Amino acid sequence: MSDLRDLYQEVILDHHKRPRNFRRIENANRQADGYNPLCGDKISVYMRLENGVLADIAFIGTGCAISTASASMMTEHLKGKTEAEARIVFDQFHRLVTNHSGGPEFADIGKLAVFSGVREYPVRVKCATLAWHTMHAALNQKAETVATE
């Protein structure tokens, strides 16, 4: 069970049970949908980007514990960050869950480090990164406003 706990850490289980920022943002100016056809996980990420800063970020969707917790913790981590910072964290997170050579470069990633256990479960990497890829797609989106449906 000890290695299972590396994956299902308390903080992950907590975010799965009580996801933070689990809502739509009505006046979002960035939004993207993510879908994992392998498992049917769906997510929509909403952002309010003001002067290059993520004034608000939230999500809705259905998914496993890993994908829900990842989305929840992502929104907590990115709120208040600049767009440029968000892109850097995106890269760091991606390396965190795929690379086996961790190290000091992840020092800034804070609580997100709990997802390092995912790298031992290659089939679950997509679960952990779905929200992040969706967030990235939202950042790259050009439209000013997006329909919520």
Binding site for another protein (CB under 8 A): 1, 3-4, 7-8, 13, 38-42, 62-66, 68, 121, 124, 127
For residues 88, 93, 95, 101, the Cα torsion angle rounded to the nearest 10 degrees is 110
Residue 4 or 143 having the CB closest to another protein: 4
Residue 17 or 145: which CB sits closer to another protein? 17
| Least distance from another protein to the Cβ atom of residue 30, Å | 25
Q: How far is the CB of 13 from another protein (least distance, A)?
A: 7
Of 51, 58, 54, the closest CA to residue 89 belongs to 54
Alpha-carbon torsion (110, 61, 129, 143), positive or negative:
negative
Minimal distance, residue 95 CB to another protein, in Å? 22
Q: Could you please report the per-residue DSSP string of 15-33?
A: HHHS-TTBS--TT-SEEEE
Taking the C-alpha atoms of residue 23 and residue 27, their distance in angstroms, rounded to an integer, is: 12
Taking the complex as a whole, how short is the minimal distance between the CB of residue 41 and another protein, in angstroms? 7
Q: Which is nearer to another protein, 56 or 132 (CB)?
A: 132
